[in-house]
Amino acid sequence: MSKEYSFLKEEYVPGALFIKTSFIRDREELVTRFAEYTPEYVVGYEAQISTVKEIQRTLVLTDEQKQATVNLYRKADSLNVEFNFVASYFKKCTLDTKILSEVKKDLTRRNIEGATDKIASIIQLIEANAIALISKGMAANFGSTLAADRDYLEQQNVLQNQVKNKVSDLYTANKAEYDALYDYIAEIANDGKIMYKGTPKAKEYTIGKIIERMRSGNGGASDAATPTA
């Protein structure tokens, strides 16, 4: 079965649980058109969810690593807002705001490496035009504060990358189990879209929509893992 969308490695279980809720509700109706959706199928699906969940529980992270993503994205969002003010100051001083637009895109997309590189250039611009920018309302110590924020982003990004590497290793070692879970998800999603095409329920069986729901609270992520067919 083709995969138009990809789950992140940590999204397999929550994605399976999202679609399971709809599937359990609609199973008796689905089985009238798709004979494999028996109670035994449900048992197998739930068992595979539990298997992958147990695999993920073996992931050992330090408290610092567990908190890294939260800290990183919180700071990225805070800076994204702050750069709206900086853009206003730049415009009032007739400075080019292109780099500010670019860094805001990087922060939104969680491209932290790209953002920190651009922030270094922004700091140079601020230092070179400090008098004019301060006259428009920028805090006198904003350049040094921004430098500290950049360093913080870099530190938290290192920790987050350590987590990504651990998750990737865990996925690689247990890929067959993740693939088996995805096969359940993909089959149910495909048949549910057919069954409920043209109705609001169809979205509940659309993997792209499920991914949007899962990511609506984390600002987007990276490290996608596409399972094999």
The answer to whether residues 55 and 96 belong to one domain is no
**DSSP class of 218:** T
Collapse the DSSP code of 198 into the 3-class scheme (helix H, G, I; strand E, B; otherwise coil) and give the result: coil
Last residue of a domain, one of 163, 185, 202: 163
**Residue at 110 is within a domain:** yes
**Residue at 39 is within a domain:** yes
Q: Which two tokens stand for residue 89?
A: 């100051």
Compute the distance between CA of residue 198 and CA of residue 196 in angstroms, rounded to an integer: 6
In tens, the pLDDT along 161-172 reads 998 899 899 999
- Domain extent, residue 197, equals 7-61+173-225
**DSSP class of 140:** T
In tens, the pLDDT along 33-87 reads 999 999 999 999 999 999 999 999 998 888 898 899 889 999 999 999 999 999 9
Last residue of a domain, one of 163, 184, 202: 163
Can you give the pLDDT at residue 226?
42
Q: How confident is the model at residue 139 (pLDDT cuts 50, 70, 90)?
A: very high
Amino acid at 21: T
Compute the distance between CA of residue 217 and CA of residue 213 in angstroms, rounded to an integer: 8
The answer to whether residues 42 and 70 belong to one domain is no
**DSSP class of 61:** -
Q: How confident is the model at residue 88 (pLDDT cuts 50, 70, 90)?
A: very high
Residue 3 has pLDDT above 50, yes or no: no
Q: How confident is the model at residue 217 (pLDDT cuts 50, 70, 90)?
A: low
Q: Which two tokens stand for residue 220?
A: 């987007």
Are residues 158 and 122 in contact, defined by beta-carbon separation less than 8 angstroms?
Answer: no
**Residue at 2 is within a domain:** no
The answer to whether residues 53 and 39 belong to one domain is yes
The answer to whether residues 46 and 135 belong to one domain is no
Last residue of a domain, one of 145, 163, 181: 163
In tens, the pLDDT along 174-188 reads 999 999 999 999 999
